[in-house]
Amino acid sequence: VQLQASGGGVVQPGDSLRLSCAASGRFFSITAMGWYRQAPGKQRELVARIISGGNTNYADSVKGRFTISRDNAKNTVTLQMNDLKLEDTAVYSCNALIRTSTTLTAGYWGQGTLVTVSS
Q: Give tens-digit pLDDT for 5-23.
A: 999 999 999 999 999 999 9
pLDDT band at 59 (very low <50, low <70, confident <90, very high): very high
- Which residues, including other chains, have CB under 8 Å from residue 113's CB and lie 6 or more apart? 5, 6, 7, 8, 19, 91, 92, 93
Q: Are 6 and 19 in contact (CB under 8 A)?
A: yes
Q: Give tens-digit pLDDT for 63-91.
A: 999 999 999 999 999 999 999 999 999 99
The DSSP code for 28 is S
CA distance 21 to 2: 10
Residue 104 one-letter amino acid: L
The pLDDT of residue 101 is 86
On average, the pLDDT of the chain sits at 95
